[in-house]
Amino acid sequence: MIDRRRFLEGVGTLALSLAAFGTLAGSLIGRAEAQTVDTAKLMAPGALPDQVLGKADAPVTIVEYASMTCGHCAHFHETTYPVLKEKYIDTGKVRFILREFPLDIVAKAAFMLARCGGEGKYYPMTDTLFETQKNWAFSNNPAQALLAIAKQSGMTEEQFNACLNDTKLAGQIDEVAKRGAELGIDSTPTFFINGKKVSGAMSPEQLDKELAPLLGGN
């Protein structure tokens, strides 16, 4: 059985300390306040391959930087993301990419589990984690709560432990977050819509407003 102390110690040894990362992010954010970023820089290959939903030639690309323990991120994924997927992603209008920007150790562990799930299981796992966030993110024993979710997805306890002890993966997630800081991310969720920075959990109406001019709407 995994207890909270071992969980926090184990995941905590995999990366930069939160304090160190916060200092790094702050210094980078101060130099990256533009509201639009170069799309070539945004879409350049990173430490981890992007998990992409939608057609490769969709006219709009949305990149979201999120933290799995962020309440506003969960709200977006519960209320607006279903509209985004049905109305825009599934119809070939939008290509969507979720990138890791964990704000704490538990969020990082959750992202690691999503990455360890295997082909085609990243978004089913992140969907589940956002939907059940209140049950695990603020639990007295997040390790056990995450283990239960991992088992429901078909992962064994041995695979769960191996995933959270994968120092290479942990470092890669750090690099994804560092890159986000270089692009000006200072809160979650933050979106880049064809390079335009949009901060905060967009409502369906706000999403429509952002996408309309890019898709020939009014």
Task: Tell me if 17 sits within 8 A of 141, measured CB to CB.
Answer: no
- pLDDT, tens digit, for every residue of 27-83? 333 333 448 999 999 999 999 999 999 999 999 999 999 999 999 999 999 999 999
| Strand order across the beta sheet in which 190-193 lies | 52-53, 94-100, 60-66, 190-193, 196-199
What does the mean pLDDT of the chain come to?
88
Q: Report the run of H or E that residue 150 belongs to, with start and end.
A: helix 142-152
Domain 4-209 has CATH 2.60.40.10: no
Task: Tell me if 66 sits within 8 A of 101, measured CB to CB.
Answer: yes
Half-sphere exposure of 55 (CA within 13 A, CB side): 11
The pLDDT-based confidence of 119 (bands split at 50, 70, 90) is: confident
- Cα(151)–Cα(159) distance, integer angstroms: 10
The reported pLDDT for the residue numbered 217 is 66
- pLDDT, tens digit, for every residue of 127-152? 999 999 999 999 899 999 999 999 99
Residue 21, pLDDT above cutoff 50: no
Residue 16, pLDDT above cutoff 70: no
The reported pLDDT for the residue numbered 118 is 84
How many CB atoms lie under 10 A from the CB of residue 165?
A: 14
The pLDDT-based confidence of 14 (bands split at 50, 70, 90) is: very low
Q: Report the run of H or E that residue 159 belongs to, with start and end.
A: helix 157-164
Query: In this structure, is the dihedral angle defined by the CA atoms of residues 159, 165, 167 and 170, taken in order, positive or negative?
Result: positive
Spans of all domains in the chain = 4-209
The pLDDT-based confidence of 17 (bands split at 50, 70, 90) is: very low
Query: In this structure, is the dihedral angle defined by the CA atoms of residues 163, 174, 95 and 41, taken in order, positive or negative?
Result: negative
